[in-house]
Chain A
Amino acid sequence: MTLLKHVTPYYWRGEWVDEESAGRRLDDIGLILPGLREPLVVDDVLAACRHLASQLDDTTGSTYAGLRDELTDPSTTALPAKDADALLAGLAKALDPRSLAAQLTAELGSAAPGVPVPAPFANEAVEVWQPVGTLVHISPANVATAGVLSAVEGLLAGNTNIVKTSGTDGLFTQRALALLADADPTGRIRDRLVVLRFSSSNTDWLRRLCRSADAVAVWGSEEAVAGIAQHAPSGCRVVAWGPKISFAYLDRTASAEPAGLRGLARDILRNAQRTCTSPQVLYVDTTDHDRLFGVADALATALADEAPGLPVIAPTAAEQAEVTNVVEVARLEEHLGLTRTRSASDGRWHVLADTRPGLCASPLFGTIWVKPLPREDIVRVLHPMRRYLQTVGLAATGDGDVALSGEFFRAGALRITPLGQMLDTYAGEPHDGHLALQRYSRRVSMPAAFHEGVSA
């Protein structure tokens, strides 16, 4: 662990460098790719992931402790210990080679995407997946493992990866990716990893970072995406993982039966609602305000029942203020006959029933809107938010869900799940309507006769 003494915010292909040196090397990003001799082998990436996952499984080891310290460092990422442990467990699971192989198969057709396959509608041609090239990742400040996972996807597709972490982050991404590089005896992963921490307000660095990018994967707000897009060179592929909103739907044939609402209550309370798959609104298939308020009351009961079983995640002062702002206005709107509110005595959850159907976001931390939306109006009401829609947690009976799924997909939604499973994902599941590994790859073709010349 002597290496860790030298950890800096700037990891450059196996070296820890200082800010001045990183600043100089920024202009050399475009020289990395042409200097590489051999392609990355996907099995080497899977083996390195297996090794890092096993280090993460050993929660008493010094590697685990070092990574955990970065996540809980009060001066930077400052996660509560419980959150840090949950995040590391989630990372270990995500790095399991079996689920990564499943993702490769689902997204690129096989666990060996570098092997050419005959083109389906041509007799004499083969096709193969190739890396896009130099892939810049702009990771968000809010999900500590996003930078690591994005870089792993970039490596699976064979790319040279340059990861920018948020100026307020600790050095978790640097340390985790350095461990991944160290786990590869061929050194090829190390040669394809650069991690730099700097603030996005440093536009000079941002511009030089993006100058040689063949693709930029950017996670974050619309402003973050727009800010990066202006630095991407012409012809560069911008892969934007932007903000999304999810909600639940209670069909008129589905009674507000306690089991379904308790599942929804868990979806609301998990991870303090901060996941993009967390429900922010419960839509009820009705125009009857009494039924709407009745469902809201039943949901409040379900939240009260489920809350003790799930960990409390305290909001920051600013986040708490946002919750109070929204709840306070909703309470005052009760006097206008527009709303009805129910809150936990300790403020752990708030149910805001609102007779206006328009989709609006929740201030999170256990705050859920309950709004009317007759099924006939689904596409019309949700249309203005089309590009932001993500998961719909659906409670319907009989063959109702088939038709309703079609309506929600028509409106722009990307995932349908049962209530209680909105936050669950499966290996190889599309992300926000895309297959990430395809976005980080190029599909190339050639005559079958040249097949021998392709390096796998």
Chain B
Amino acid sequence: MTTAISADADLARRLPTLAKYFRPITVPAPLELPHVQELCDRDDPFRPGEDTDSLFVAAMREINAWHVARSPLYRAAWEKAGSPVPRRTRELDALPYLHVNLFKRHALGSVPDADVALRLTSSGTGGERTEIGFDAWSIGSAQRMDAWTLKALGLIDPDRPANYLVCGYEPDPRLTVGAAHGLNELCDFAPVASAVHALRNTGGGHEFNPMGSVDALLDYAARDEPVRVVGFPAFVYAVVERMRQMGVPPLRFPEGSLVLTGGGWKGHADRAITKPAFREAVRSGLGIPDDRIRDCYGSVEHCLPYIECADHHFHVPVWSRVVVRDVRTLEPLPYGNPGYLQFISPYITALPAHSILMADLGTLHPPGACEVDTPWFDVHGRAGVRRNRNCAVAAAELLGKR
């Protein structure tokens, strides 16, 4: 552990934007949650020690008791499930799970307002919005896991400055006073030589600027630094498509260039393309190889990061477990069967999302298919239909109009 901490400190010295990720952080109640602290201090997501399973179960018992004591709704659900207390890994799926959509409709925090360090908005596909308050531990520990995961996957480049195209929202220049920089967090993992946003701040909203983005890429292609294209896949794809329409010949960028996407195709689902088609379009337009085009998966309610390995698998890290459940019976399914993704992780003190059923369908696979030796999943997209296949109005369409 000492070696790891000094390695992180060394990284942060070379790349100061990393410092905030590697600061030591403490659970809100060290006496109640000692195993949560210990598990979340594990700094290598894909190299679990021998004792990890028992540590994980102990941490889950602690966080479960934490939410039972603080969330009346979770307590009721837990009691209805027979008040299970897991003693070993295979008993974890006996814990009740809350559906992610519940957090989009109700404020279900387990921490008092005074302890809220950051508020994030959770929005559903149908327009429901709820603000979720995070305590310093929940958000800090998720961010630290983010950095550790990027590090383990070799995606941090502390020494070579990169030119960024951020396919995300440009912060309001009037609100960035005091912030370290007006940049997306995805710019924290390699020094910034220059950065351009694809979604420019107009003062009253954001406007997609595909021409400016193409110009930026053309400019970057004439320089020596690697390029980092980060942000929403829909906009990365739109920029690459615009290049193709304009007849811009395929670009080439230095070795070490990276495309890192996240956030899914929310709001652009009708234009979503498959991941292999996306990577092929990016590869042919930008010359960035397939294994340097990575996607991230996560949500506001379960903000622990899942980042693709070079083979495009979302690996389950030491801090979480994944169960896949049948879409009709909700029974757990074996490896290889598609169903609802359920995430189990003790890191979260802010809300009773330590066992959460996502609205996404996925399939869990055993380890052994690639270099990272943990189970992995792929995501098939949102479970359920936004629109019924008939003339009746569907639920999601209405939610925004109530």
Show the binding face of A for B, using Cβ within 8 Å. Answer: 140-143, 219, 221-223, 241, 243-246, 273-276, 278, 280, 317-322, 324-326, 328-329, 332-333, 335-336, 347, 358-364, 384-385, 388
CB distance from B167 to the nearest CB of A (A): 22
Nearest to A280 among chain B residues (CB) is B392
Q: Are A317 and B391 closer than 8 Å at their CB atoms?
A: no
Q: Which residues of B contact A347 (CB under 8 A)?
A: 328
Q: Determine how close the nearest CB of chain B comes to the CB of A434; give it in whole angstroms.
A: 14
- Footprint of A on B, CB under 8 Å? 72-73, 76-77, 80, 98-99, 101-102, 105-106, 270, 327-328, 330, 338, 340, 357, 359, 361, 383-385, 387-395, 397-399, 401-402
Pair B327/A244 contact, Cβ less than 8 Å: no
Min CB–CB distance B47 → chain A (angstroms): 35
When A317-B327, A360-B399 are in contact, do A143 and B384 touch as well, CB less than 8 Å?
Answer: no
| A314: nearest chain-B partner, CB-CB | B328
7 inter-chain pairs at a CB distance below 8 angstroms, sorted by A residue, are A276-B391, A318-B383, A319-B388, A324-B383, A325-B101, A328-B99, A335-B77
Whether B393 lies near A143 (C-beta < 8 A) is: no
Contact assessment for B391 and A241 in the assembled complex, using a CB-CB cutoff below 8 Å = yes
User: Given A321-B384, A328-B99, A360–B398 Cβ distance below 8 Å?
Assistant: yes
Q: What chain B residues lie within 8 Å of A332 (beta carbons)?
A: 73, 77, 98-99, 102
In the bound assembly, the distance between CA atoms of A171 and B2 in angstroms comes to 69
Contact call B391/A361, Cβ cutoff below 8 A: no
Q: Give min CB distance, A197 to chain B, whole Å.
A: 17
The answer to whether A364 and B388 have CB atoms under 8 Å apart is: yes
Dominant SS among interface residues on chain B:
mixed
A363: which B residues are within 8 A, CB to CB? 384, 388, 394-395
Partner of B392, one of A219, A241, A358, A361: A361
| Complex contacts, B105 vs chain A, CB 8 Å | 329, 333
Q: Which of B72, B73, B106, B394 contacts A361 (CB 8 A)?
A: B394
In the bound assembly, the distance between CA atoms of A327 and B81 in angstroms comes to 17
Residue among A142, A241, A384 making CB contact with B390, cutoff 8 Å: A142
Distance (Å) between the CB of B402 and the closest chain A CB? 5
Q: How far is the CA of A384 from the CA of B401 in the complex (A)?
A: 7
Given the known interface contacts A321-B327, A321-B384, A324-B328, the answer about A245 and B270 at a Cβ–Cβ threshold of 8 Å is: no
Contact A276 B398 (CB under 8 A): no
Task: Across the interface, name the chain B residue whose C-beta is closest to A333.
Answer: B102
| Contact of B391 with A360 in the complex, beta carbons under 8 Å | no
Set of chain B residues within 8 Å of A384, measured between Cβ atoms: 401-402
A318 adjacent to B384 (CB under 8 Å): yes
Bound complex: CA A384 to CA B128 (Å): 16
Q: Which residues of A contact B392 (CB under 8 A)?
A: 243-246, 273-276, 278, 280, 361, 364
Contact B383 A221 (CB under 8 A): no
Q: Which of A273, A324, A328, A361 contacts B393 (CB 8 A)?
A: A361
A355–B166 CA distance with the chains assembled, in angstroms: 45
CB neighbours of B98 from chain A (8 A):
332
Q: Which of B340, B387, B390 lies in contact with A275, CB distance below 8 A? A: B390
Could you tell me the distance in whole angstroms from the C-beta of A46 to the nearest C-beta in chain B?
27
**Chain A, residue nearest B72 (CB):** A335
Q: How far is the CB of B270 from chain A (nearest CB, A)?
A: 7
The reply to whether B340 and A321 form a contact with Cβ atoms under 8 Å apart is yes
Q: Which 8 A-B pairs have the closest CB atoms?
A: A322-B384, A321-B383, A276-B391, A335-B76, A142-B389, A274-B390, A243-B393, A361-B395
